[in-house]
Every structure is written in C-alpha cells, then in structure tokens.
Structure 1
Amino acid sequence: MVEIGTAFESDTIASLRSFHMDLRRVGGANDKGVDLRGKWVLSGSAGSSAPHTVPIIVQCKASRTPLGPKYLRELEGTLARESAGTIAVMACYEGYTRAAVEVCLGSVRPMILAVVERVGRRCVGFTMNRATQYLLPGVRMVRGEAGVRVWYGGRCLGEGVGGGG
C-alpha cells in the first residue's frame, strides 16, 4: 500500500509540475496531513515581470473510489495550521463525491480539487474554490480533450500532462 501511495505522489508531482507547481515529497508517518509541499510560481501577469509565488500543500489519496467530504474537512484542518495565503490541493485518481465538492466549494480556506489519471499522469480535473479565486484572481482553468489547461494573466501556464509514462 505504501508503494501505491508513493507512486501516486510521484504522479501528482509530475502532473502539477505542468502548471508550474514546484513540489517535493514530505509525507511519512508524521506528515500531519501534508504529502507534498512547495510553491506555485505564476508568471506572465500583464504589466508584471516578477513571478507571483504562492505556498502550496498537497494531500494525495490513491483511492479506488471517489473521495468523500471527510477528507476535505481533514484538509481544512491541516490548512488552518499553515501560514495565511497557503493553498491546499487534494489530489486523487477517482474524483470526488458531490458532498466532498460542496465542502471544498463552501470552504473559506483556499482549496483545489485535482484529479490525476492513473495512466498518463494527466490532470483531468482541477476545481478551485472561491477563496482560491480571491487569492489568485488572474488564474483560470479550462477543460479540454488533452486534459486541463491553467491560465494566468492571459497566458496558458500549461496542460495537466505529466512527464514520462
């Protein structure tokens, strides 16, 4: 089971790297709900040459079924211990129940739901709640046949396609 989780963490790093998220594995027995930690480097904003950098934490769940609200509530608690302005990402393979999506969308904490393909390491789902949109007003997500594209400042940061197989 540990191997599956570690492999999914690697898939998640590869997938989110395409959106300019620079992540490293920190998970373990005492990870306090954080598997990956890093920053989201947003460049390309109109009128700004300096990149906008946002702290990111990621919880990875390699579940075989859609994740329920319990996991999002736990992630909210984890995010409460982080510095202001940190965004929490929940990543999984099988998507989320309607109740889990409602918890995310109703949260006052900045959260993103990511769905990563088992094969291909593509990010095929990327949902930002209002708190995230407020924190990053120039970020937009567009779904397409090739996966998800994230835009910032009128420029495409990349598609949710990871490296390797």
Structure 2
Amino acid sequence: MDNTVLQFVAIATTTLFILKLLGGLIFGDTDYVDNIETEGESGGNFISFSISSVLAFMMMFSWTYLGVHEEMGVGKGLAIAFVAGTAMMMAYSFMIRKLFSLNSPEVSEAVLSKGSSARVYTSIEGRAKKSGLVKATVNGAERTLDAFTNDTKTIATGESVLVESHDNGRLFVTRA
C-alpha cells in the first residue's frame, strides 16, 4: 500500500470521526442502521455498525497499519491493524450504547405495577409476536415504552391497556 494514500485516509477518517462524535454529542446521533443489529444482554439492540463506528474502524486501522507495517511486514501489519480497528469499532459502539441508555432509564416493576394503565401509541401484535408502544405516566412524567401482549388479537392504537407484568425488561399489557 502507498503510505501517502493511507496517511490521507487516516487523517480524513480521524477528522470526520471527531466531527461526527462532536456533532452526535451536541445535536444527537441519528446515523444508526436499523437492519444491522445484534441482541444485547439487556434485551436491547447492540448496534455494531453505524457511520461513526465504521469511521472508528478505518481511523484505527489506518493509524495502526502506518505504525507497524515497516517493522512487521505487510501481512502481520494488516492483521494487527484489522484487529485494532475491529476492537475500536466494537468499543465505540458499546460506549455509545451505554451513553444512549442513560437517556432512557429502565422502567422497574415497582414503577409500573400490575394494573397500571396506559394508552397504546402504536399497535401491539398479539401473542407477543411484535412489540408496540404505549404511553404511560412514570414518576409524574409521560413516557413511551415498548410493550408486548399475550392476547390473541392485535391491540390497536388508542386503546386503553393495563400492565400485566414486567419480565426481563419486557412490559406485557392486556386490554383494559
């Protein structure tokens, strides 16, 4: 590889990464691709591919390769750069996920106890096939929460529902 091209890529991706990071922290980040997700431990989506995480990969890959290729050769340099880039991408994605989770606190069973009422915001498919959204008052503030139902029929938007249970971060509701 030509070092001039790789130096340009390293500087360009670093600049874009920093600008994207600052823009995301100031204005909110919206570059996540919804169809490339993996299930996280907490039941939420751990998004490993976004524009920012790809920039993080390219930035780390470029700088690492530039730093090690002369002493270790092209093959080992590429391998080490790939591992470093992948680690940076995953670490960045994990940190952003944790940062966003601070913005949407978990709703505990104590806050939404059995029998609490809510209104369906987007329809909820029956038999817990697909979640929908409900609006409920939590600690005096109206929140929009993901919800499932074990009912056989879909619960339509605008219907009143009652909380059945809250299991492993999943809110289950039934028609009021």
The two structures have a TM-score, normalised by structure 1, of 0.19
Higher relative contact order (CA 8 A, sep 6+): 1
More helix by share: 2
More strand by share: 1
The structure with more radius of gyration: 2
